[in-house]
Structure 1
């Protein structure tokens, strides 16, 4: 069991991240922790793991949690045994087996005579058979580092496991191993993830936001359904409040017009009756006060409704506030854009693929490129873009406008400021104020326009990339996305999905995120082996 009471965390710059958080994870629960980027999910997970101290509150656990972090580069200078925390045990085992039996080695080993056997079995399970315990973590790929730390669950056999974005760098085969572990384990789990397939294996869902933690008693699909219902109700409230505001302004205008007519008629009567000047001034002052009171009453009502409407609008999800203006590609559906015929590539005199590639890409098609890590997906993309030539066969491309968006959003120049980056994609048809209007649509306010692009988060870079595409005078004929959801939270994945579904050109996607592929309507695939 894991409980947290009254947790608060303050950033080193003294900004409060969250406070008064209460959380209870029961034994054998498999809980998802979701929330927008910046909500504090990873920090909360580190507090639960005992790696960070909260500013207030306490955490109680029935046993020490095992923690798999999202960022693994801090282990680069560690050996695999050190990263797994078993280096002292392995050394003790080898020394004892070599006849060097000391109290220190016996204490370090703690009767764990099968530690090396568990280590080998665990790494073999994750497809890491040939990796030595003395090898540096820095020599491994991102996916291999994650799999090493996931193997530590079998090695340490903890009761409580905390996972931070565990599927981020895993290929489809490794994801299946992770999913099977989650389905079959008796461990108590708390998982931070944007992988919807993984999240649907977890129940309940804890949502972390500025309001605190809200618990949803179901998997991710149930959570998303409840959020959709709430958003629908909120959108309806916004429409109702907009209608009320229009009505209030209309009533205010009519009331002021009536008051002005009454004042005008009263003044004419007074003049006709020959009322003395001093009395006329008194009556005029009274009329002005009456008009002012009427004006104040209606202005107060309009102001109150306007404030309520502003609060409601600020609560809408960002995906609902954004306006997508993708133009359609100028190509008719079905036009052949790229032909790949008996194509292959070589690395170190070895052909990359077991069979030569043969396929066509036509306008309007939505296609995935599938394959395990190292199968040559990015190489194929470079061939389709004309940046690499096949050593066998041919890749014939029509004269089309293509945009390649990788997981790091490299089309965004880190040296540019946000406004300058948007202006770079302007074909000259948009004025400065029009570019700023489009930046606002993609949630970049006045405070963001002079921000360096290098300081943007993954989600912000994604939104800016989409904004730049929308600013271009002509939509690209082909958009190629390379692992687009890897560095995005659920909110920004929803924004990306909405934008791509607005696009009517040709789409090519490399992704292990099956949920995303389904949502953007992928209809065909090239499988690399």
Structure 2
């Protein structure tokens, strides 16, 4: 169904993205394609789909692939029918029904007499029965656009399907439909996603890295167990090498001290015995040469162990390299931070929530805010943060420091360089070298410090934002997360999860990623709509 041999891709500026990519997918296998940001997952899908040309190697598919890209804005100028590439065939179908039975129309239709029926069934499955096929795509929400392209799978019935982050803009109900669709589909699938629930539906995991593609014969949970075992083994090697380095340095120090004592003692004996000066100088030179050789041997050993340790640390997963340092001392569990009684809000005449909301948020809670698209989650967040007031009911807010982390990480100023951004949060007066140490902890080396915020990926912005919060030192009382994993790969989602689990304050989280909510131990839900 899909065979890739010795595939190479270089960017237009000649920078190599990947090479020696080899892969075989047989019908009806379903595989997850995962890898760190910048590994080339989306590029590989585009090459298979024929959107991009490789720099070398071959791609063979048994049939025309059906490709659902991650970003759909480029189709905004098209109608739904045009985006699904069915407009001409549908028009021919309607022309024939109207009696215009021409050779051209019959050729365009190509005996596809149940096309309209498939369209209606596919759109109904995804909850798009109200959709007009002549409607412009730019009038649809992100979730609706995704559903349109997913509906195209049932319309075209392809043998090979390529999906790039298909659950990104879907709410909980939409994700459930997607999971069921993937389970029941007989198509061969290659899926790029960070949605662990979706990944667990796929029978194999393909990890894309600089080494090529590594196949793990199981779902994502199996892959995660394998990687955890590898990581623990590597961490043990690091700890063992750190211990060996400490011993080598201690032996080097003790040997140097011992040699120094022997030299002093020998010199005193020589002076006491009245040894000729020329003989004393010869013995002194011999002792210095001996000491120098010993120093060289120990320095060489310490250097070799240090190099081995450096190489081992380079292999560690990035989540194991990052260290968090929130000052949690000002957080007190159980304090009422926000209280709402019978609140509601209106846009126009209709009330946003069918029933007025009454609830409290206390310090230390981890709350998931749930609801369909358009159910008022963002409005409620703005009320909690004090940006707007409810139009009915009452609220009470305790003095608190809140941080709102939205999907676009807008706490990051796109006009500032990475180091300048970090300085903006330096309320505790850290020295320049201390800030740079913190940046290094969050995987920003000196090669990155001059990059502007506008040039960072979603994952990089997230890491910089977390770094800035640790630079400000004092942990906020409330962190509000609005779909925080939407633009993150698996690696950066793990980093975010680790940071959140290190935080002891209050969390209010909007997310359709059930696995993420489990991992951060969301303990209470507020349901809207």
Pairwise CA distance, 1:450: 2.3
Residue 454 of structure 2 is matched in structure 1 by 454
- Cα RMSD, aligned residues only: 1.9
User: Contact 2:325 / 2:473 at 8 angstroms: preserved in 1?
Assistant: no
Cα deviation digits, residues 174-222 of structure 1 (max 9, x gap): 1000000111111111111000111111111111111221111111111
5+ residue gaps in structure 2?
A: none
User: Contact 1:340 / 1:395 at 8 angstroms: preserved in 2?
Assistant: yes
1:60-139 aligned at under 5 Å gives the runs: 60-139=60-139
5+ residue gaps in structure 1?
A: none
1:163-178 aligned at under 5 Å gives the runs: 163-178=163-178
Cα distance change of structure 1 residues 121 and 310 upon mapping to structure 2, 3 Å threshold: same
User: Contact 1:416 / 1:453 at 8 angstroms: preserved in 2?
Assistant: yes
Residue 374 of structure 2 is matched in structure 1 by 374
1:190-269 aligned at under 5 Å gives the runs: 190-261=190-261
Cα distance change of structure 1 residues 273 and 333 upon mapping to structure 2, 3 Å threshold: closer
Cα distance change of structure 1 residues 285 and 332 upon mapping to structure 2, 3 Å threshold: closer
Pairwise CA distance, 1:267: 5.7
Cα deviation digits, residues 288-344 of structure 1 (max 9, x gap): 443333322222221111111001111111111111112226243222211111111
Whole-Å Cα distance in 2 between the matches of residues 138 and 377 of structure 1?
Answer: 23
Total equivalences in the alignment: 529
Whole-Å Cα distance in 2 between the matches of residues 249 and 277 of structure 1?
Answer: 36
Residue 148 of structure 2 is matched in structure 1 by 148
Whole-Å Cα distance in 2 between the matches of residues 278 and 96 of structure 1?
Answer: 117
User: Contact 2:428 / 2:472 at 8 angstroms: preserved in 1?
Assistant: no
1:99-498 aligned at under 5 Å gives the runs: 99-261=99-261, 284-328=284-328, 330-498=330-498
Pairwise CA distance, 1:152: 0.5
Per mean C-alpha deviation after superposition, the further-off stretch among 28-37 and 291-300 is 291-300
User: Contact 2:428 / 2:471 at 8 angstroms: preserved in 1?
Assistant: no
Whole-Å Cα distance in 2 between the matches of residues 7 and 407 of structure 1?
Answer: 34
Whole-Å Cα distance in 2 between the matches of residues 331 and 290 of structure 1?
Answer: 60
Q: What secondary structure does 1:310 align onto?
A: helix
Cα deviation digits, residues 50-104 of structure 1 (max 9, x gap): 2222111111222121111111111111111121111221122222223333333
Cα deviation digits, residues 405-432 of structure 1 (max 9, x gap): 1011111111122222222222243233
Pairwise CA distance, 1:490: 0.7
Q: What secondary structure does 1:343 align onto?
A: strand
Pairwise CA distance, 1:283: 5.1
- Give the TM-score of the pair, scaled to structure 2: 0.95
Pairwise CA distance, 1:277: 6.2
Cα distance change of structure 1 residues 285 and 205 upon mapping to structure 2, 3 Å threshold: same
Pairwise CA distance, 1:502: 1.1
Pairwise CA distance, 1:113: 1.5
Per mean C-alpha deviation after superposition, the further-off stretch among 150-159 and 430-439 is 430-439
Residue 44 of structure 2 is matched in structure 1 by 44
Cα distance change of structure 1 residues 112 and 425 upon mapping to structure 2, 3 Å threshold: same
Residue 26 of structure 2 is matched in structure 1 by 26
Q: What secondary structure does 1:339 align onto?
A: strand
User: Contact 1:329 / 1:505 at 8 angstroms: preserved in 2?
Assistant: no
Pairwise CA distance, 1:473: 4.5
Q: What secondary structure does 2:146 align onto?
A: helix
User: Contact 2:119 / 2:155 at 8 angstroms: preserved in 1?
Assistant: yes
Pairwise CA distance, 1:282: 5.4
User: Contact 2:331 / 2:504 at 8 angstroms: preserved in 1?
Assistant: no
Whole-Å Cα distance in 2 between the matches of residues 439 and 174 of structure 1?
Answer: 38
User: Contact 1:367 / 1:526 at 8 angstroms: preserved in 2?
Assistant: yes
Pairwise CA distance, 1:440: 2.1
Q: What secondary structure does 2:19 align onto?
A: strand
Q: What secondary structure does 2:447 align onto?
A: helix
Cα distance change of structure 1 residues 249 and 428 upon mapping to structure 2, 3 Å threshold: closer
Q: What secondary structure does 1:448 align onto?
A: coil
Q: State yes or no: 1:17 paired with 2:17.
A: yes
Cα distance change of structure 1 residues 257 and 353 upon mapping to structure 2, 3 Å threshold: same
